[in-house]
């Protein structure tokens, strides 16, 4: 009987056949003895994380793979980003992603990232906790110039335009309501007032005076985008009966995990970049299996490398995943699931809608004859072609935790 | 990067294993070196054009393969047939298929096709443009005894019974409303009056007097069936961002193409019969790719041959398709997709719900190990088993034209 499960999602792992790799994908062309050993022991298949031919975002595909239908639960990236910054969101909160930016005395945008300042924290601190028209504003700092804004109050809407025009030399837009509802008008109005007040406060911030003195652009404006309202996420443990933890270094995925009630396991050396310590992440995940029924491990870098067109480094990174995957070979009481959230084509440098490989290894699975973990090898596996939302169902079933439908 | 796509739908191409062909299907038993070459280069699979085990009509399966959910858009064959006869339909029009038939002086049906007259045109001409109860009637002639009736007016319904009893020796039915709505009652009333007036006019037509003189049955009655109302079809180009053309010789498919806003490319020598010039159709399609992003080629005859039980001629026709398919081998910037709309079983002489093979060939596809284009060979391909509605999604994805879902 399986005690627990580990779900390893390698972001953007899958690819298309590349001419430069003799018609193989980076995964097919990589030396992956450990992943292949897992594939040999397990059952394999391919997954359309959203649907056949649909190009998944990383947010929607993770929701689906974790058992949350994005058609129901996805409202926008902002809520996950904010959650990832440690903000405790409540149902009805509206979250936005924000950049600290530079405007001149005529409100013309000079720099969308305020010279890529090192940390937004000392700037946004004083903006946190302002109340306007009964709406409470919370601001948290992210990496560098990044921040998140959360609005809490009655009757808010996320149907708002961005104030970020995405170009320089113009004024920021006013945030507008994108529908004619009272809620959207009200929310846009409160947010515009807040942005004005933030500009006034930031302009007076002594740190900005220092920046100007040394010739750096002042961080005196908040450009925001991606307003999203937090719908209630049913708790992962309540939905699936599995106490769950997440090992990830990247905000978005930590945000998804937090939003669905998973605990975060932080791992020194996990960076979300190609230099990340994959062994350390697997070690932490395996340790967490002592305490948790389900551990989701997210490994980011293959996606970024493919988006940079760097298919050789992608292959190299996959070989690093493989070396770490040795640690997954001896988990006797654990269902081991390895898959990807979407294909990232190194030639097109973007997410594509091609299915991703999956393998499921553990006692009781109907091991098939597939001997390699690869896009095309797994397409011939015993799982066939399933959807992202099916993955948690398969996991629950193989763990012996699925409820009977009927009698 | 792929520039465009060609979708070849071979009507009724798939079949069941036939004892007379040693347990092979006509496609499996045919010599198809060019189709096999394409299969070798591409990714293959099987498609349930509507759903697993569902026997598709040609109209519904084409809608699905072209990305239009028949559950939403299919209202009946009449609208496509009428559109194919060149009638410009508007939203809310009700269209019916009609036969010119023969009734005697007691209104008993003697011949449902008026002795399969050569052309309905000189008979229906005078029926075109009649207005009854504010409903404008348009009639267009099809091949032989066939015609289409379009009713235009306010508050029409297509929920009508047929007046065609499908047997001889009885009177035509009255058209009845199939629900209790005012609209259906009103439409049935107007149509019955029109059919009466048409009978009176046709009876007086001098051509019929001549026919009677030489012992031919007069074409003096309209038997109609398949009332359908035109819903608005979203334009193909708006839906998919692809400027599209259709190469087909047969009314129904031209009607589907017109209804969704495709341009028609007419090809001399394209007949819709086994004698059709398949090379000429492919040549025209390939030329059209200079101007269009997407060309749909329809090839009809395999279906009719199977419905006649003529499996040897079906095989022969498939070999003719194969010879023409040589022209598809050198399309470097084009995604080539070959499939069928449904299985037509030569033994049962009817459409069946077995899946059809598909192959997709072009740069970036995950070519699989399948080396033959056949029902069972493709069932082991890398695409697996998908639905008709997935085909356009796969095409958009492989063309790099799919929109991202999420971020």
Flag whether pLDDT at B86 surpasses 80.
Answer: no
CA distance A143 to A254: 14
Q: Which of A134-148, A377-391, B71-85, B259-273 has the lowest mean pLDDT?
A: B71-85
Low-confidence ranges of chain A (pLDDT < 50): none
Q: Tell me if B212 sits within 8 A of B203, measured CB to CB.
A: no
Q: What is the pLDDT of residue A316?
A: 98
B-contacting residues of A 47-76, CB under 8 Å?
50-61, 70, 74, 76
Q: CA–CA separation, A85 vs A180, rounded Å?
A: 32
Q: How far apart are CA A399 and CA A335, in angstroms?
A: 7
Q: Is A145 on the interface with B (CB under 8 A)?
A: no
Chain A CB within 8 Å of residue B154 CB? no
Region B340-362: what's the mean pLDDT?
Answer: 97
Q: What one-character-per-residue DSSP string does A248-309 give?
A: -SSHHHHHHHHHTTPEE---TT--SSTT--HHHHHHHHHHHTTT-SEEEEEE-HHHHHHHTT
Position B1 pLDDT exceeds 80: no
- Is pLDDT of B16 > 90? yes
Determine the pLDDT at residue A82. Answer: 85
Residue position matching structure tokens 């450990």: A34
Which residue of chain A comes nearest to B379, CA vs CA? A380
Give the model's pLDDT for residue B280. 98
CB atoms < 10 A from the CB of B10, how many? 26
C-beta of residue A2 within 8 angstroms of C-beta of residue A398: yes
> What is residue A60's predicted lDDT score, i.e. its pLDDT?
94
Q: Residues with Cβ < 8 Å from B152, sequence gap 6 or more?
A: B90, B92, B93, B135, B136, B138
pTM of the model: 0.84
Residue A233, C-beta contacts closer than 8 angstroms, at least 6 positions apart: A68, A73, A259, A260, A261
Q: Using CA atoms, how far apart are residues B138 and A379, in angstroms rounded to an integer?
A: 53
Strand locations in A11-103 (E): 43-48, 55-56, 94-103
B394 in contact with A at a CB cutoff of 8 Å? yes
The model's confidence at residue B206, banded by pLDDT at 50, 70 and 90, is very high
Taking a C-beta distance cutoff of 8 angstroms, is the pair A297, A253 a contact? no
Inter-residue contact B42 to B359 (CB < 8 Å): yes
pLDDT reported for residue B75: 81
d(CA A73, CA A232): 8
Answer whether B384 sits within 8 Å of A353, measured CB to CB.
no
Tell me, yes or no, if B366 comes closer than 8 A to chain A by beta carbon.
Answer: yes
Q: Do the Cβ atoms of B241 and B266 come closer than 8 Å?
A: no
pLDDT at B151 over 90: yes
Residue A45 near residue B394, CB atoms below 8 Å = no
Beta strands in B69-159 (DSSP E): 94-103, 109-111, 131-132, 135-141, 146-152
Angular region, A361: left φ>0, alpha ψ -120 to 50, beta rest? beta
DSSP letter string over B254-300? HHHHHHTTPEE---TT--SSTT--HHHHHHHHHHHTTT-SEEEEEE-
For residues B174 and B172, give the distance between their C-alpha atoms in angstroms, rounded to a whole number: 7
- DSSP one-letter code for A241: S
Tally of residues, chain B: 407
d(CA A238, CA B362): 46
Work out whether strand A94-103 and strand A109-111 pair parallel, antiparallel, or are unpaired.
antiparallel
**B386/A23 Cβ within 8 A:** no
Distance CA B24, CA A314 (A): 45
Q: Mean pLDDT, to the nearest integer, of B281-289?
A: 98
**Cα B53 to Cα A56, B50, B113, B353, distances in angstroms:** 29, 9, 34, 5
A387 interfaces chain B, CB cutoff of 8 Å: no
User: What's the whole-number mean pLDDT along residues B47-76?
Assistant: 94
Q: List all residues 6 or more positions away from A330 whose beta carbon is below 8 Å from its beta carbon.
A: none
Q: How far is it, in rounded angstroms, from Cα B75 to Cα B70?
A: 8
Q: Which residue of A has its CA nearest to B1?
A: A348
The tokens of B257 are what? Answer: 């193409």
pLDDT of residue B91: 82
Contacts of A15 in chain B (CB under 8 A): none
DSSP code at position B14: B
- C-alpha distances out from residue A52 to A277, A388, B6, B393, Å: 33, 10, 19, 7
Chain centre to alpha carbon of residue B283? 21
Q: How many Å apart are CA B149 and CA A355, to the nearest integer?
A: 47
Chain A residues within 8 A of B7 when measuring between CB atoms? none
> Helix axis angle, A388-398 relative to A58-65, nearest 10°?
30
Mean local confidence (pLDDT), B320-346: 98
- What are the distances in angstroms from CA A312 to CA A298, B212, B259? 21, 83, 48
User: Taking CB atoms and an 8 Å cutoff, what residues of chain A touch B404?
Assistant: 55-57, 351
What lies within 8 Å, CB to CB, of B201 at 6+ separation is: B126, B127
Taking each helix axis as running N to C, give the angle between helix A206-213 and helix A182-204, from 0 to 180 degrees, rounded to the nearest 10: 60
C-alpha neighbours within 13 Å on the C-beta side of residue B375: 26
Quick check: B282 pLDDT over 90?
Answer: yes
Tell whether B301 lies on the interface with A, counting CB pairs under 8 A: no
* Dihedral of the alpha carbons of B49, B51, B57, B59, in degrees to the nearest 10: -50
pLDDT value at residue A366: 98
Residues A75, A233: Cα–Cα separation, whole Å: 11
CB atoms within 10 A of CB A223: 25
Q: What is the mean pLDDT of residues B136-147?
A: 92
Residue pLDDT, tens place only, A59-117: 999 999 999 999 998 887 788 888 778 788 888 899 999 999 999 999 999 999 998 88
Residue B382 forms contact with A (CB below 8 Å): yes
| A77–B384 CB contact, under 8 Å | no
Name the DSSP letter for residue A50: S
Q: What is the pLDDT of residue B232?
A: 79
Write down the pLDDT at residue B76.
79
**Total residue length of chain A:** 407
- Which whole number is the average pLDDT over B369-383? 98
Q: What is the mean pLDDT of chain B?
A: 95
Whether A331 and A297 have beta carbons less than 8 Å apart is answered as: no
CB contact under 8 A, B366 and A59: no
Q: Quick one: pLDDT at residue A181?
A: 95
For residues A2 and B342, give the distance between their C-alpha atoms in angstroms, rounded to a whole number: 44
């Amino acid at each position: 009987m399986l005690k627990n499960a580990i779900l390893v999602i390698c972001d953007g792992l899958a690819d298309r056949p590349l001419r430069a790799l003799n018609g193989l994908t980076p995964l097919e062309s990589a030396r992956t003895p450990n992943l292949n050993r897992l594939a040999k022991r397990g059952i394999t298949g391919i997954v359309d994380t959203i649907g056949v031919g649909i190009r998944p975002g990383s947010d929607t595909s993770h929701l689906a793979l974790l058992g949350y239908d994005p058609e129901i639960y996805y409202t926008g990236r902002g809520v996950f980003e904010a959650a990832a910054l440690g903000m405790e969101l409540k149902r009805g909160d509206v979250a936005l992603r924000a950049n600290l930016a530079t405007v001149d005395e005529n409100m013309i945008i000079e720099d969308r990232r305020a010279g890529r300042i090192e940390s937004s924290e000392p700037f946004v601190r004083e903006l946190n906790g302002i109340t306007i028209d009964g709406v409470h504003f919370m601001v948290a700092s992210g990496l560098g110039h990044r921040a998140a804004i959360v609005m809490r109050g009655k009757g808010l809407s996320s149907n708002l335009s961005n104030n970020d025009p995405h170009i320089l030399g113009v004024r920021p837009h006013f945030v507008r309501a994108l529908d004619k509802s009272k809620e959207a008008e009200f929310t846009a109005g409160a947010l515009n007032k807040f942005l004005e007040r933030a500009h006034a406060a930031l302009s007076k911030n002594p740190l900005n005076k220092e920046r100007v003195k040394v010739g750096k652009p002042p961080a005196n404006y908040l450009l925001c985008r991606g307003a999203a309202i937090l719908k209630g996420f049913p708790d992962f443990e309540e939905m699936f009966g599995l106490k769950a933890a997440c090992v990830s270094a990247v905000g978005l995925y930590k945000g998804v995990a937090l939003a669905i009630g998973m605990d975060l396991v932080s791992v020194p050396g996990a960076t979300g970049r190609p230099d990340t310590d994959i062994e350390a992440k697997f070690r932490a995940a395996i340790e967490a299996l002592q305490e948790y029924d389900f551990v989701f491990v997210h490994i980011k870098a293959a996606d970024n490398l493919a988006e940079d067109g760097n298919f050789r480094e992608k292959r190299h990174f996959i070989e690093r995943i493989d070396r770490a995957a040795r640690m997954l070979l001896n988990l006797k009481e654990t269902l081991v699931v390895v898959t990807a959230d979407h294909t990232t084509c190194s030639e097109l440098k973007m997410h594509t809608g091609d299915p991703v490989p999956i393998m499921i290894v553990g006692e009781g699975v109907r091991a098939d004859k597939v001997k390699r973990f690869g896009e095309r090898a797994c397409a011939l596996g015993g799982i066939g072609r399933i959807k992202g939302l099916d993955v948690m169902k398969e996991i629950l079933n193989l763990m012996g935790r699925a409820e009977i439908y009927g009698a």
